Amino acid sequence: MKTNPSFRIFKLSKLISLGIGIGLVLAAQPIRASVVNNIVITENSSTSLTVTYNGSTSGISISPFTPEGWVITFPSSVQLSTPGNHAWVEPEKPTDPLLCNSFVESNAPNKGFFASEFQSSLTHFADGTVLPDFGTDTSNGGSISVQVFDKGDAAKVPDSGSTFGLLFLSLIGLLGATRLRSAQSA
């Protein structure tokens, strides 16, 4: 029994059509974008810290525990899990190899510790650097990144009003001293 060659071509074209159909179905699957949640910690001064999670302060509490250290509690969906200590450069002393701002997770998965003026031999990242993979958020399955800004230690510029006032007062004193001296000479 001989097979007609036209039937072989017909079978091959069915396989090609089936392969194209499967490929189109697989390509039509929804693509899931990975979610990245962001913690931003801003030290405004040695007694003031601001923390946001995805741009909001809702559900976050900040409690001081040392002069330049705070416990930060996040919503229960935040699960911090990064091992170890992470350090950002102190802006007022960028050349100090040990001085840094540090953020670590605590024994509770939704709490972390932030310390300023912290001594650490870890690699220091620049102020404002985003560090990824600090944990996950169980509400959306996304990873958590942390960014630290230290505005509390920025160089302070003297008040020009009081500086001008002191300069003016010293000029009046100098002028008065020269008049007194010239009056005594006469």
Asked whether residue 160 is domain-assigned, the answer is no
Asked whether residue 52 is domain-assigned, the answer is yes
Q: How far is 51 from 74, CA to CA, in rounded Å?
A: 9
- Whether residue 18 is predicted with pLDDT greater than 80 in this model: the reply is no
Asked whether residue 181 is domain-assigned, the answer is no
Q: What per-residue confidence (pLDDT) applies to 107?
A: 83
Q: What per-residue confidence (pLDDT) applies to 167?
A: 55
Asked whether residue 65 is domain-assigned, the answer is yes
- H helix or E strand, kind and range, residue 62: strand 61-66
In the block, tokens 């036209």 appear at 6
Strand partners, 66: 69
The total number of structural domains that make up the chain? 1
Is pTM beyond 0.85? Reply is no
Asked whether residue 126 is domain-assigned, the answer is yes
Find the distance separating the first CA and the last CA of the chain, reported in whole Å.
144
Asked whether residue 124 is domain-assigned, the answer is yes
Mean pLDDT of the chain: 78
Q: How far is 86 from 133, CA to CA, in rounded Å?
A: 12
Max Cα distance, the chain (Å) = 144
**Under 8 Å between Cβ of 49 and 62:** yes
Asked whether residue 169 is domain-assigned, the answer is no
Q: Which domain holds residue 109?
A: 37-150
**Under 8 Å between Cβ of 125 and 100:** no
Q: What per-residue confidence (pLDDT) applies to 114?
A: 93
Residue by residue, DSSP assigns 100-135 as EEEEEE-SSTTEEEEEEEEE--SPEEPTT-EE--SE
For the segment 62-87, what is each residue's pLDDT rounded down to a tens digit? 999 888 899 999 999 999 987 666 78
For the segment 104-160, what is each residue's pLDDT rounded down to a tens digit? 888 888 999 999 888 877 778 889 999 998 999 999 999 999 999 998 755 444 455
Percent of the chain, pLDDT > 70? 62
Asked whether residue 54 is domain-assigned, the answer is yes
- Whether residue 21 is predicted with pLDDT greater than 90 in this model: the reply is no
